[in-house]
Structure 1
Amino acid sequence: MPYLRLKQLVEVEGTAAPSKISASLRETGKDCILRGTGNPNSAAVCILETHAPNTETTVRGLARLVQVGPDFTIVDISLKGLIPGTYQASIRQNGDISRGAASTGGVWEEETMGTEARGKLGQIEVGSEGSGGIIIDASIAVWELIGRSMVLSPIAEPPNRNDEASLVGVIARSAGMWENDKVVCSCSGKTVWEERVEQKEKGML
């Protein structure tokens, strides 16, 4: 594909999680930025932040959601800068994160489905270096999650506690394959590569 080589773009077809694809590309000695995954309207992203007061680096993780089949979605979560331990990941009823986890509502579907609620994504182990990740197969369509929130909290603490170890984020629609062609981020005026370098320097990538 000459166009792809000329533009230094790589197209990958399959069901591999975005973190696995980017890790494989970095193993070749190149850096990379994912500029869209999945088909249009089948991808979402959630930036996970702590709402604890007086915290310098608030962003601690990223969740990418890619629907690869009818009601079948890969949830790819990466975390850094956390206290080691076991964390519970869940999707909440609403997207109000104004008060951190405390304002996100209950776990999605838990009131009607109990332990079978699809909002219970699973547990993530964060190692001694403060990082962790998990890839989850969920029987969910991406459109069901847009506008809801995701919460990660230590299983040893109350699920809606707003300390530095608890992370929250709103699930937003993400670009499908080749839909994200931006070069400069409108929020900062920096190129996407400059933003990536900045995040790497903060230890988030």
Structure 2
Amino acid sequence: MQERPPFKTLFAVPLHCEGCISSVTNALSQVEGILSVECHLEHQLVEVEGTAAPSKISKSLQDIGKDCILRGSGNANSAAVCILETHAPNVENPVRGLARLVQAGPEFTIFDISLKGLQPGIYQASIRQNGDISNGAASTGGVWEEDTRGTEARGRLGQIEVDSEGSGGIILDISVAIWELIGRSMVLSPGTELFRQDDEATLVGVIARSAGIWENDKVVCSCSGKTVWEERVEQTGKGML
């Protein structure tokens, strides 16, 4: 397994004083893989460099009572995101998962997948040939590269275990470049096989480009006029992780 190269991640974090900076710095210094932390009090931002996945950094901040919003990861054109939803009808909050992708080196990408609101069990994660989710997982095509590489296909991401509370997560290192994935879809299916049929437990989403570090300086949405924190409350209410 190739050693994971370090990369930078930027978070918006409420910072009110030097005491906030001290508590954030102390908390993140305990996270394995973090090499440096720089807090920007004026702009309410925390810049982290290392090999720790964004979800681990977020949890560390939340554990000390600090909310946070991911503002960018990696260099330009090296990050992506996939919102995982059920396409079953009549579901109030269809969003059940989020995958963050960061390319930390040449053809070396970290998959940081978080799930919630699912039935306990084993789920299979896969990248599909295309990004057509008009009919849920059924319209996404076969597993990427499976027709040429079989079980060695890079589209076979592996298993994720969902616990008794309906939550799960995994961090994977895959030999792939971000540009190879943009526009394809990701599917999570319950069971031991890569099923295509749709039910409430099958999740699907399109992989889209995400902002690199310092590429997203939005504070207020030009469409709604809401701040990023107001948007966060609204999206969390809809099930967003």
Which TM-score band (shorter chain)? over 0.9
Give the structure 1 partner of residue 24 of structure 2. none
Matched, 1:136 2:136: no
Aligned counterpart, 1:29: 65
Secondary structure of 2:141's counterpart equals coil
Q: In structure 1, how many angstroms separate the alpha carbons of the residues matched to 2:38 and 2:197?
A: 52
Matched residues in 1 for 2:83 and 2:92: separation? 16
Cα 1:148–1:128 shift into 2, 3 Å: same
Aligned equivalents of 1:158 and 1:101: distance in 2?
Answer: 10
User: What amino acid is aligned across from residue 60 of structure 1 in structure 2?
Assistant: R
For 1:67 and 1:115, the matched residues in 2 are separated by 23
Match of 1:147, as an amino acid? Answer: G
Query: Where does residue 82 of structure 2 map in the other structure?
Result: 46
Q: Which runs of 5+ in 1 are unaligned?
A: none
Secondary structure at the counterpart of residue 41 of structure 2:
helix
Deviations 1:53-107 (A, max 9, x none): 1111111110000000111100000011111111000000000000000000000
Tell me how far apart the structure 2 counterparts of residues 3 and 51 of structure 1 sit (CA, whole Å). 40
Indicate the residue corresponding to 2:211 in structure 1. Answer: 175
Match of 2:104 among 56, 68, 77: 68
Q: What CA distance in whole angstroms lies between the structure 2 residues aligned with 1:120 and 1:154?
A: 14
- 1:1-205 alignment to 2 at 5 Å? 4-156=40-192, 159-185=195-221, 188-202=224-238, 204-205=240-241
**More displaced 10-residue stretch of structure 1: 60-69 or 185-194:** 185-194
Provide the rounded CA distance (Å) in 1 between the counterparts of 2:198 and 2:223.
27
Identity of aligned residues (%): 80
Q: TM-score, normalised by structure 1?
A: 0.93
Structure 2 segments unaligned to the other structure (5+ residues): 1-36
Per the TM alignment, residue 26 of structure 1 is displaced from its structure 2 partner at its CA by 1.6
- The whole-number CA distance in structure 2 between the counterparts of 1:160 and 1:189 is 40
Q: CA RMSD in A?
A: 1.9
Q: Please state how far the C-alpha of 1:6 moved relative to its aligned partner.
A: 1.4
Q: Which has the higher contact order (CA 8 A, sep 6+)?
A: 1
* Number of equivalenced pairs: 205
Radius of gyration: which is bigger?
2
TM score, norm. by length of structure 2: 0.80
What is the alpha-carbon distance in structure 2 between the residues aligned to residue 183 and residue 127 of structure 1?
A: 36
Offset from partner CA, 1:14-52 (integer Å, 9 cap, x none)? 121110111112222211001001110000000001100
CA–CA distance in structure 1, aligned partners of residues 164 and 240 of structure 2: 16
Q: Measure the CA separation in 2 of the matches of 1:23 and 1:104.
A: 32
In structure 2, distance between residues paired with 1:22 and 1:102: 33
